[in-house]
Amino acid sequence: MSRIALAFDLGGTELRAALVGDGGNLLAFASTPTRAKDGPDVVIEQIAMLAERTCSDVPDAKPLGIGIGAPGPLDPVAGILTAPPTLSGWREVPLAGRLQDRLNLPVRLENDANAAALGEWRFGAGRGAASLVFVTVSTGIGGGVISDGRIVHGRRGLAGEIGHMTITSESERCLCGAVGCFEAVASGTALGRRATALTKPGDGSALRTLSHDGDVTGRHVVEAARSGDETALGLIDREARWLGIGFTNLLHLYSPDMIVMGGGISHGYDLLRKPIEATIQERAMPAYRDVPVVPAQLGRHAGLVGAASLIFLN
Amino acid sequence: MSRIALAFDLGGTELRAALVGDGGNLLAFASTPTRAKDGPDVVIEQIAMLAERTCSDVPDAKPLGIGIGAPGPLDPVAGILTAPPTLSGWREVPLAGRLQDRLNLPVRLENDANAAALGEWRFGAGRGAASLVFVTVSTGIGGGVISDGRIVHGRRGLAGEIGHMTITSESERCLCGAVGCFEAVASGTALGRRATALTKPGDGSALRTLSHDGDVTGRHVVEAARSGDETALGLIDREARWLGIGFTNLLHLYSPDMIVMGGGISHGYDLLRKPIEATIQERAMPAYRDVPVVPAQLGRHAGLVGAASLIFLN
């Protein structure tokens, strides 16, 4: 039987668990709403319960260990959740140690964006790369960086805060308070905001038809563009140009072998690809221009599979 | 006797050599104009000659190996200079292998910016840090990144091209062809250009007096600001704000324990420090705000000492 890891993706709203084979294949899956507000003790019991449930689906399974992706900031070496904004009230929780005691298996902790990057690197779009940058473009922009065969952690595991790199002097104010963040101009939220500003309820536009005359989202723009709507295609072009500027920075700063693009907006990858590439050709220094931007392959399971890989690598 | 390495800093105009002790101390130093145009064979003989000259200064010295900092792009693992723009006509030169044959010592090659970062990390301002970003601000902006105890190389050793990260949508066109590069707004060249545009030959300003009515340089601005000139102080403030924006990006992207600032403009560090820090406080996310920006300590020897450290580390 192949090696097996027990993997968790601890989100602020959903807790997901899987038994994962060492080929990155899911052998069993379970999820439950995270009772984050009830505190770490309750959530640790939820994790134990999901461990039992997934393991009972595969009776012979003997997991080698537990990998967990969790919201940062966290200390992956000490296995401590520092102060995750999406798990309010959690401060300095030694999650790895407590789970190790509870479930009697070695536990490895990684932040969720890095876990997803690991997943795509080991089992998805990034297989074989020595260095890659994984970028999720959805409500916000986040990411994880693999450089020379290792996750780039940096101080307190806080490296790779890609969404808050300043790339322009003009934008709506970002949620972080600064102006000009990559996320403020290129996230799905920013794309939706631009589409909403360009249209009006009741104007009969494709975008407002899709949104039922409510605010337009990034997903609506992708959908309208796919059906050939000119306004949406223009918005996609502008979106791709912002993505191209940000991706060019990532090329210059990390020199990855590839950029892997995930998140909700990556469903429009086929529409975004050409203008992203054109922007990179225009702005990147020659040595970086042939680095591919590819779509993520693992979707919502990237983090689970990446968390499992923490166990297989050790 | 302590361990000794032979170190070279191969620049387009100057070739410098030193015997370096394992405390980072220079035991002997020699330099010569690089005969870059005469090709690799001639330069390799120049290196051999400087090796002999420095070693003859310290008769007992038995260097363990040779570390070389050279202009990128280069392949540090294979020891090959790829196509350095400042060594015209050099293409795919296996410098490490050729020197190893010629001098019968193990040779390690690293790009010059990374070598300087290594020098500051091992023996200068960055001692004890697990992660740091070294930024040189002079004619251009360059740098090297240490993350989690290792140089970030990336594909073809091209990571850390800090000067060509886009941070604004407004600037003179950068030498690289793009608009908004960190280097285009925050290098010593950009500072001098702004000072030149603000003043006129013969206007009796402090800046034009220092420049003898020629173009004003970044160094002139630092000098005039130090003597209290209001125009220069305003220019320094604007320079520091651009540096602060770029440094904030570096904090978010690499999460270093510190940023080490070198290069000609770092002679104005005392004047720049406060507005740089204010910009970081304003723009960085809370978890990154207490990361210090410190001046480099090794000056022009950072690269030599860093090249030597390549030998001590192995």
Domain CATH for A255: 3.30.420.40
pLDDT at B314 over 70: no
Interface predicted TM-score (ipTM) of this complex, two decimals: 0.94
What is the number of CB-based contacts under 8 A between chain A and chain B?
A: 135
- Residue B310 to residue B103: CA distance in whole angstroms: 17
**Within this chain, do residues A138 and A283 fall inside the same structural domain, yes or no?**
yes
Residues in A lying within 8 Å of B, measured between beta carbons: 73, 130-131, 147-148, 150, 152-162, 164-170, 176-178, 180, 245, 248-249, 252-257, 282-283, 285, 287-288, 291
Does the distance separating the beta carbons of B255 and A154 come in below 8 Å? yes
Contact assessment for residue B239 and residue B263, using Cβ atoms and an 8 Å cutoff: no
Q: Which comes out higher in pLDDT, residue B272 or A36?
A: B272
The answer to whether the CB of A256 falls within 8 A of the CB of B157 is no
Of all residues in chain A, the one with the smallest CA distance to B163 is: A252
Q: Which of B82, B166, B248, B281 to mutate to test the interface with A (most CBs of A within 10 A)?
A: B166
CA B286 to centroid of chain Cα atoms:
29
* Chain B partners within 8 Å of A278 (Cβ): none
Cα separation, A302 vs A307, in Å, equals 8
A232-282 confidence digits (pLDDT tens): 999 999 999 999 999 999 999 999 999 999 999 999 999 999 999 999 999
Give yes or no: residues B56 and B160 share one domain: no
Most A CBs within 10 Å, among B81, B150, B158, to test the A interface: B158
Q: What is the mean pLDDT of residues A8-33?
A: 95
pLDDT of B230 strictly over 90: yes
User: Per residue in B185-208, pLDDT tens?
Assistant: 999 999 999 999 999 999 999 999
Half-sphere exposure of A228 (CA within 13 A, CB side): 0
Tell me what pLDDT residue A84 has. Answer: 81
The mean per-residue pLDDT over the stretch B76-85 comes to 87
Examine the pLDDT at A1 and tell me if it is beyond 80: no
Q: What whole-number distance in Å separates Cα of residue A230 and Cα of residue A208?
A: 14
Whether residue B1 is predicted with pLDDT greater than 70 in this model: the reply is no
A170 CB contacts (<8 Å, ≥6 apart)? A179, A180, B169
Q: Looking at the structure, do residues B194 and B258 belong to the same domain, yes or no? A: yes
Read off the pLDDT of residues A158-177 as tens digits, 9 standing for 90 and up. Answer: 999 999 999 999 888 888 88
The one-letter code for the residue type at B54 is T
Which residue of chain B has the CA closest to A182? B167
Residue B103 has a pLDDT of 95
- Residue A98 sits in the same domain as residue A151: no
> Within this chain, do residues A154 and A262 fall inside the same structural domain, yes or no?
yes
Q: How far apart are CA A222 and CA A216, in angstroms?
A: 11
Question: In what order do the strands lie in the sheet containing B150-151?
Answer: B150-151, B141-147, B132-137, B258-262, B293-295
Gap between the Cα atoms of A230 and A234, Å rounded = 6
Average pLDDT over residues B41-57: 95
Residues B151 and B227 in one domain: yes
**Does B69 share its domain with B113?**
yes
The amino acid occupying position B96 is A
Write out pLDDT tens, residues B119-163: 999 999 999 999 999 999 999 999 999 999 999 999 989 999 999
pLDDT at residue number B166: 97
Token pair of A206, please? 């494709």
Model confidence pLDDT, tens digit, residues A300-314? 999 999 999 999 986
Q: Exposed, middle or buried: residue B88 (CB in 10 Å: 0-12, 13-18, 19+)?
A: exposed
Structure token pair of residue B242:
């651009």
Whether A160 and A115 map to the same domain: the answer is no
Residues B180, B201: one domain? Answer: yes
One domain, residues B149 and B279: yes
Of the two residues A61 and B16, the one the predictor is more confident about is B16
pLDDT at A212 exceeding the cut of 90:
yes
List chain B residues with CB under 8 Å of A253: 159-162, 165, 253-254
Contacts of A255 in chain B (CB under 8 A): 153-161
A161 or A84, which is more confident: A161
Catalogue the E-assigned strands of chain B: 4-10, 14-21, 26-33, 66-70, 74-75, 80-81, 107-111, 132-137, 141-147, 150-151, 258-262, 293-295
pLDDT at B48 over 70: yes
Residue B61: both structure tokens together: 């010295």
Q: What is the C-alpha end-to-end distance of chain B, expressed in Å?
A: 18
Q: Are the beta carbons of A141 and A183 closer than 8 angstroms? A: yes
Distance from CA of A134 to the nearest CA of B (A): 13
Q: What is the mean pLDDT of chain A?
A: 94
Reported confidence tier of residue B83, pLDDT bands at 50, 70, 90:
confident
> Is the same domain home to A113 and A53?
yes
Higher-scoring residue by pLDDT: B293, B177: B293
Which residues of A are less than 8 Å from B168 in CB distance?
Answer: 166, 168-169, 180
Smallest CA–CA distance, residue A313 to chain B, in Å, is 18
A131 to B155: CB separation less than 8 angstroms, yes or no? yes
d(CA A163, CA A180): 10
The alpha carbon of B25 is separated from its chain's Cα centroid by a whole number of angstroms, namely 19
Q: How many domains does chain A have?
A: 2
Q: Is the dihedral of CA B108, A152, A184, A194 positive or negative?
A: positive
| pLDDT given for residue B2 in this prediction | 81
Q: How far apart are CA B140 and CA B63, in angstroms?
A: 34
Q: Which of A152, A279, A289, A293 to mutate to test the interface with B (most CBs of B within 10 A)?
A: A152
Shared domain check, A226 and A87: no
Model confidence at A5: pLDDT above 90: yes
Cα–Cα distance for residue pair A13/A11, rounded to 1 Å: 5
- pLDDT given for residue B313 in this prediction: 80
Structural domain including B156 reads 129-295
